[in-house]
Amino acid sequence: MSKKYPLLATAEEIRTIARRAITLMDVLHEGHDDDDAAWNDPDIRRLDHQVFRAAKEAMRFCATAAGLLGDASLLQLVAQLLEEQATWDDHADKDTDVVAEGVGELLRRGAPVNDSVEAFAASPNNEIRAVIAAGLRPTSERAIKLLETLAKDPIAEVRKPAREALATRGELPWWAGKWQRDPLAHLSADDAAALREPIERISAMLDESRWALMKKEREFTDLVAKLPDPIAVDVLETMLSAGGTYETRMPAAGAHLLSREGGIEAFLRVLAGWTKGRSFHLTTEHKAMATGLSHDRAAAVGLAFAKYALSAPGALRDEFSTPYFLAASFAEDMMPPGADLTPIVELVLEAPEVTTRRSDYIISKVASMLGANNARPGALSERLIAARLAGYPGAWSRMSASIDKLLQKAPFELLRPAVEQALRSDDDKLARWGLRCILTDAHAADTDGSRIELAARLCEDTRLRGLITADPTLLKMAITPLRAALRRGELACAEALNVVSTISELWGGVAPSFYARTFTAGEKEASRRKVRDEYAAFLGPEELHGPVTEEEWAALRRVRDASPPDEYTAWMRVLGVLPEGPWHPEDRALLDRAVAAFADDSDLAMPISMCLTGKATVDDLHIFDRLLEGASDQRALIRSNMYSTRERLGLPAKPTEGATKAEATSGGDWMDEDEEDDA
């Protein structure tokens, strides 16, 4: 039974509010005749804006409330509201702005300051602080105290109205909100005279909106470059610390801060300011703050950020909205080419293990510095190779993926012997690393032959072939000899299933296990083409290209029937590798066996329903009813797959009472989801 909600508004209340809103808008449209003073009066303009917003929001409320009420008699009224709103469709205001301005207007009309207003005045949201600053009046000690704080806000849109409200109460420091201390106070008379002009220009620019300042970022940064380190660092830290994701995208200013003495420590404090905002995230402009530094400075910044990130308390290691995580994200791509990575390795090895949290994102980010595009193993090569051959013992495991990537750039004369040793190892993970390397970075054409020839020889070893066919990357590197082996009937069932799936990844042929309605046939082919381009060196002659053939499906069915599935994982695998198009009799018989096995294992509902999503005809829809009845704990997922299946077949997503039986009588034609006109 659906939840019962309380009444929001009656039909008569909706009509009353709507009529008033329409009247307000009509009066607003009449304007102020030819009264130029009224048009230019800021208080009148603000009132006009308030009337406009109130009328507009009232219309939105009435339309929404009418839809919720469901009273058909309100249809014409809502249609009239839609006509009214159509003219103003580009006036979309954020909900927080609308509500905050209501608070600000009430303060302007004399509402007293309370705890909520104080909380809003300290909000990390610039727009909310600006509204409070504009609404407050210095009529009480509490209000004055808030205004004095807001008058020192780094955001000009907040600071200026607060300063104006306090203008009659004495002079405020001109530098407040721009510097944390008077930039001229500790300068000699000569230095103060020499720097007064750039400081005044900087001060004037900081009185503009943040968006205006961002447009003049290069000019602003050039002026700051004329200042000594303490004054430059102060103004940059103050400015960059305030604002959300979009107001702090000033790469030149950030890079200049990092280049100055004391700038690294100040930048880490800036990160703490950023995380006070809601949902702050780094953009490409933020990441660009770390570019353009000298080689040594970039290395110093990267190491300092990594150290700071790893100083995070254990309880914060899996949190994204912390300055530690932001520092680690900056450090990820910061080390310049050729920088010594030994300090980073030592930091990760020595970092205390966090056992009370599910994930340690900080460690992962710092370790990824080793796998960055600029990273080079250099003098670390032998030590990293030794750790790789030892299976990454202890804390080395934190860096395993990144070191594997870094070792792709190791000197060939060191890498090749290690790879050959790895291929002889009984450790499957190590042997797989050896296989990937010998087919790519450690490949020697003069002794190994082509990559395809080498892959064919490796597949002759039963153990290595098993490792290759269980690894998606290695499968694509060895697809040419493995496809030939599939046709010759030399593969085991699991190997054949994986090879057919890989052929489909490259050229198509396997029915999807879910209905990907958002992808056209052309888009899916473009995705396959991208994979083929990546592995072009491994794809061999044309006769071994193209979608899965009937010969290959027949070979798969033979090994599949020889090793019938008897548990969940096996059923999931075989039901997920079936050909596109109508049912083949042997595949339909496989589905029937799975449905029969479902009687004893309700977990099979998932692989069966996923199979139906890509393969079912109308005549198969009744199977969903059986799955829903026998697997009550999986009904949500089964229904989702059923709705997707029905959508693929051109039926309403949700069946009506008795619809399944009626639909089945209409025939069981296959509806291919790729029959789309991509022209």
Which residues does 545 contact at the CB level (< 8 Å), separation at least 6? 507, 539
Q: What is the pLDDT of residues 466-492, one digit of tens each?
A: 999 999 999 999 999 999 999 999 999
CA angle 314, 315, 321 (to 5 degrees): 110
Does 17 reside within a domain? yes
The answer to whether residues 99 and 80 belong to one domain is no
Torsion from C-alpha of 347, 352, 356, 358, nearest 10 degrees: 20
- Look at residues 169, 190, 213 and tell me which one is the last residue of a structural domain: 169
The answer to whether residues 101 and 75 belong to one domain is no
pLDDT at 346 over 50: yes
Rounded to 5 degrees, what are φ and ψ at 592? -60, -40
**Alpha carbon of residue 400 to chain centroid:** 24
> Which token pair is 592?
């029937």
Alpha-carbon span 400 to 368, nearest angstrom? 10
Kindly report the number of other CB atoms within 10 A of residue 357's CB atom.
13
- Look at residues 86, 110, 140 and tell me which one is the last residue of a structural domain: 86
What is the pLDDT, as a whole number, of residue 33?
63
Q: What percent of the chain stands above pLDDT 70? A: 91
Helix, strand, coil percentages in the chain from 3-state DSSP, rounded to 5: 65, 0, 35
Does 646 reside within a domain? yes
The model's confidence at residue 92, banded by pLDDT at 50, 70 and 90, is low
Alpha-carbon span 249 to 359, nearest angstrom? 29
Which residues does 581 contact at the CB level (< 8 Å), separation at least 6? 511, 670, 672
Q: Which helix (H) or strand (E) holds 82?
A: helix 75-86
Q: Which amino acid is at 479?
A: I
What mean pLDDT is predicted for residues 645-667?
Answer: 69
The model's confidence at residue 244, banded by pLDDT at 50, 70 and 90, is confident
Alpha-carbon span 11 to 392, nearest angstrom? 70
**Alpha carbon of residue 150 to chain centroid:** 34
The answer to whether residues 656 and 613 belong to one domain is yes
- Smallest Cα–Cα separation from 556: which of 499, 484, 513? 499
Q: Which of 250-254, 404-408, 516-520 is predicted with the least confidence, judged by mean pLDDT?
A: 516-520
What is the pLDDT, as a whole number, of residue 520?
83
The model's confidence at residue 149, banded by pLDDT at 50, 70 and 90, is very high
pLDDT at 671 over 60: no
The answer to whether residues 129 and 158 belong to one domain is yes
Listing DSSP states for 27-69 in one string gives: HHHHTTTT-HHHHH-HHHHHHHHHHHHHHHHHHHHHHHHHHHH
Q: Between the CA of residue 117 and those of 74, 99, 158, 177, 554, what are the distances in Å?
A: 38, 13, 15, 21, 74
Q: By CB neighbour count within 10 A (0-12 exposed, 13-18 middle, 19+ buried), where does 641 fall?
A: buried
Q: By CB neighbour count within 10 A (0-12 exposed, 13-18 middle, 19+ buried), where does 630 fall?
A: middle
Sign of CA dihedral 346, 347, 351, 357: negative
What mean pLDDT is predicted for residues 151-178?
Answer: 93
CB 270 within 8 A of CB 258: no
**Alpha carbon of residue 5 to chain centroid:** 35
Which residues does 629 contact at the CB level (< 8 Å), separation at least 6? none
Q: Which helix (H) or strand (E) holds 347?
A: helix 342-350
CA angle 343, 345, 348 (to 5 degrees): 110
Q: In the predicted model, what is the mean pLDDT of the chain?
A: 89
Kindly report the number of other CB atoms within 10 A of residue 444's CB atom.
11
Does 26 reside within a domain? yes
Strand-pairing partners, residue 176, are 179
> Which token pair is 197?
């002009």
The answer to whether residues 64 and 99 belong to one domain is no
Torsion from C-alpha of 521, 526, 532, 534, nearest 10 degrees: -150
pLDDT at 591 over 60: yes
Does 401 reside within a domain? no
Does 608 reside within a domain? yes
The answer to whether residues 58 and 117 belong to one domain is no
Does 653 reside within a domain? yes
Alpha-carbon span 584 to 609, nearest angstrom? 18
Does 567 reside within a domain? no
pLDDT at 34 over 70: no
Alpha-carbon span 605 to 624, nearest angstrom? 9
Q: What is the pLDDT of residues 257-292, one digit of tens each?
A: 999 999 999 999 999 999 987 778 899 999 999 888
The answer to whether residues 123 and 148 belong to one domain is yes
Alpha-carbon span 549 to 511, nearest angstrom? 14
What is the domain extent for residue 619? 598-664
Rounded to two decimals, the pTM is 0.78
CB 468 within 8 A of CB 482: yes
What is the pLDDT, as a whole number, of residue 616?
93
- Smallest Cα–Cα separation from 47: which of 101, 126, 88, 112? 101
- Look at residues 120, 146, 169 and tell me which one is the last residue of a structural domain: 169
Name the one residue in this structure whose structure tokens are 């026998």.
630
pLDDT at 235 over 50: yes
The answer to whether residues 19 and 80 belong to one domain is yes
pLDDT at 618 over 70: yes
Q: For the chain, what is the domain count?
A: 3
The answer to whether residues 108 and 63 belong to one domain is no
CB 289 within 8 A of CB 255: yes
367-403: b (≥16 Cβ within 10 Å) or e: bbbbbbeebbbbebbeebbebbbeebeebbebbbebb
pLDDT at 583 over 50: yes
Does 421 reside within a domain? no
The answer to whether residues 110 and 144 belong to one domain is yes
CB 644 within 8 A of CB 514: yes
Choice between 539 and 244, residue whose per-residue pLDDT is larger: 539
DSSP state of 539: -
Q: Which of 29-38, 255-264, 495-504, 630-639 is predicted with the least confidence, judged by mean pLDDT?
A: 29-38
